[in-house]
Amino acid sequence: MGTDERLNGYQRTVPFVEIMDSTLRDGEQTNGVSFLPHEKLIIARMLLSDLNVDRIEAGSARVSDGEKEAVRMICRYARQIDRLDRVEVLGFVDGGQSVNWIADCGCTTMNLLAKGSQKHCEQQLQKTPAEHIADIRLCIDYAHKKGISVNLYLEDWSEGMKDSPAYVYQLMDSLVDSGIRRFMLPDTLGVMNPLQVIEYFRKMVKRYPDTHFDFHAHNDYDLAVSNSLAAVLSGARGLHVTVNGLGERCGNAPLSSVQVILRDQFHAKTNIREDKLNDISRLVESYSGIAVAPNQPIIGDNVFTQVAGVHADGDNKGGLYHNALIPERFGRRREYAMGKTSGRANIAKNLKELGLELTPEQTRRVTQRITELGDKKEVVTLEDLPFIVSDVLKHDAPEDRVKLVSYVVSTAYGLKPGANIKVEINGEQYEAAATGDGQYDAFVKALRFIYKKYLDRTFPLLANYQVTIPPGGRTDALVQTVITWNDNGRQLRTRGLDADQTEAAIKATFKMLNIIEKENNNSL
């Protein structure tokens, strides 16, 4: 269960909690989410190899040919890295059909779905508890004969404990000696609160003290994380999570939140590598098409961004606004946003980041200008700051090493969009033309051609592209383009603001190129 440690002079048990990720099964039940087989493989590889989760639920038996292909690929990969025992597939009480499907995929663990409430057993299956138990035992025996170990889901267990606890105990009494490795207790409808979880879980643990219980939470009342932690406090040895909290209806307990609260609040042990949490979040966000909210704890864009000037001032005076959730722990960095509430401390932090030194009066004037922009709802970024400083202090802006001299983009019915561009890089001018799937795509392809042919350099890959109307804006006013780039394994994010979407994207692109060019020249 765990190890002993001394805290504040007394000894306590530190639990080890198994983490089972169900993104590829329950997470794929999110409305509108369907992963391609190769996407499921890539997610599985990151979960198993990079993040080091204890188990993954790779899919559901008998769903589709694509699902079977994906599970086969995942099992083949897991076998190669000696982690096949960490791959699980949902199966059903169906006379052995699921067992055969799972065995054919090369998987060795089935998560068998049984009915955990009398209501589901009698109304959905239209069977007596004794009949359902007999069917379950036949399925378990057949799986064991095929060399497949079995974990058992008690579907609707939460309602079962509320309405028919005698049925739950009858099921457990009949199956606890059947060779099941884990009994997995779901709050299928997401209706429980932490006090109920504690009550029901402790009853299960007290009655079956040598049994491994997992807890599977749903987030309909926004209590999935709280309920998961209550389950650990009450004896759960494993928790089920999904990346970004994906899942049916309101989703499941988010992996990132469960992990950090287990570690920081309960001092529990897991095998999760926290510095990979942001990477897996971004990957699943991209493949699922479900955006992570900016204020989502741990993985949201804004969670390590200080906006209020008093916070930046406190950080300058001993990290007064820091907590255990330091961004470097998750492979991220702290940022200080600039807007109408920033104050001079935020501006000073960003000036220091750029290596700019201003007098107190100059800083005051720059702060005043940024406050004015904030009142207009405009976004002020780190890349914008040198130009604001230049405008306020009436001297030339820092020299761009990469400049757009001229360009023409075109689109016509029946023809691919095209772009003709002329750019200046470190004083030399280059021209190129290209076609693409859109005007901006054509523009970037022309840039890639220049960097490859004339400079023999790799052009960063576009990782994410977002277009929004700035808060308070209108469709006929400014648009903001935020582009995330992958430059040899590191991420750069730049923004462009303009009345034209393509122009905004081009501005963001040239900000990125100048950042890289400046770094290259500074390293010489």
Positions marked catalytic: 25, 155
SS3 content of the chain, % helix, strand, coil (to 5): 45, 25, 35
By DSSP bridging, strand 461-468 and strand 479-487 are antiparallel
Burial 409-430 (b: 16+ CB within 10 A, else e): beeeeeeebbbbbbbebeeeeb
150: number of CA atoms within 13 Å, CB side? 29
Asked if 486 contacts 506 with a C-beta cutoff of 8 angstroms, the reply is no
Which alpha helices (H) appear in 46-183, and where do they start and end? 65-80, 97-105, 118-119, 129-145, 157-163, 165-175
What are the beta bridge partners of residue 10?
A: 7
Q: What is the rounded distance in angstroms from the CA atom of residue 49 to the CA atom of residue 122?
A: 42
355: number of CA atoms within 13 Å, CB side? 4
Q: Which tokens in the block code for residue 24? A: 């590829």
Vertex 228, ends 139 and 322: CA angle to 5°? 145
